[in-house]
Structure 1
Amino acid sequence: MSKLVPKFYDLIMAPIEKNRFKRVRSGLLSHATGHVLEIGSGTGVNFPLYQNAQSVTAIEPDETMKERSMEKVFNSKVPIEVRLAYAENLPFVENQFDCIVVTLALCTIQDVNHALSEARRVVKPGGQVMFFEHVRLNHSIVGKVQDVLTPFWKKVAGGCHLNRNSLTLIKEAGFEVVEVERMYKGLFLVIKAKNF
Structure 2
Amino acid sequence: MRQGSDADERTRRIWEREAPRYDSWMRRFDRYMLRDGRSWVCSQARGRVLEVAVGTGLNLPFYPNGTDVTGVDLSSAMLDRARTRADEVGLKVPLVEAPATRLPFPDASFDTVVCALALCCIPDDRTAVAEMHRVLKPGGTLLLIDHVISHRFAVRLVQRLLDPLMVAFADDHQLRRPLHLVREAGFTVVRRDRYSLGMIERLAAVKDTATVL
State the shift of 1:142 in Å: 2.8
Q: What secondary structure does 2:193 align onto?
A: strand
Preserved contact between residue 33 and residue 52 of structure 1 (Cα < 8 Å): no
- Say if 1:184 and 1:8 are closer, same or farther in 2 by CA, change over 3 A: same
In the alignment, which of 163, 170, 191 is matched to residue 203 of structure 2?
A: 191
Which of the numbers 83, 92, 95 marks the counterpart of 2:96?
A: 83
User: How many aligned residue pairs are there?
Assistant: 195
Gaps of 5+ in 2: 1-12, 209-213
What is the TM-score with the length of structure 2 in the denominator?
Answer: 0.84
Give the counterpart of 1:125 among 138, 141, 144. 138
The residue number in structure 1 matching 2:3 is none
The reply to whether residue 182 of structure 1 matches residue 194 of structure 2 is yes
Once the two structures are TM-superposed, the CA of residue 155 in structure 1 deviates from its matched residue by: 3.0
1:44-70 Cα shifts (integer Å, max 9, x gaps): 100111124431111000111111211
User: Following superposition of structure 1 onto structure 2, how do residues 1-196 of structure 1 map, counting pairs within 5 Å?
Assistant: 1-2=13-14, 3-18=16-31, 21=34, 23-76=36-89, 78-157=91-170, 159-196=171-208
Deviations 1:18-74 (Å, cap 9, x if unpaired)? 566462211221110100000001111001111244311110001111112111111
- Contact 1:30 / 1:52 at 8 angstroms: preserved in 2? no
Q: 8 Å contact 1:36–1:53 — kept in the other structure?
A: no
Identity of aligned residues (%): 33
**Residues 93 and 63 from structure 1, CA distance in 2 versus in 1: closer, same or farther, beyond 3 angstroms?**
same
Aligned equivalents of 1:80, 1:136: Cα separation in 2: 33
Computed over aligned residues only, the root mean square deviation of the Cα atoms, in angstroms, reads 1.8
Paired amino acid for 2:37: V
- The TM-score normalised by the length of structure 1 is 0.91
Letter in 2 for 1:123: L
Give yes or no for contact 2:34–2:200 (8 Å, CA) kept in 1. no
Q: Which moved more, 1:138-147 or 1:184-193?
A: 138-147
Partner amino acid, structure 1, of 2:177: N
After TM superposition, give the deviation of residue 99 of structure 1 in Å: 0.3
Q: In 2, are the aligned partners of 1:134 and 1:187 still within 8 Å (CA)?
A: yes
Secondary structure class of the residue paired with 1:88: coil
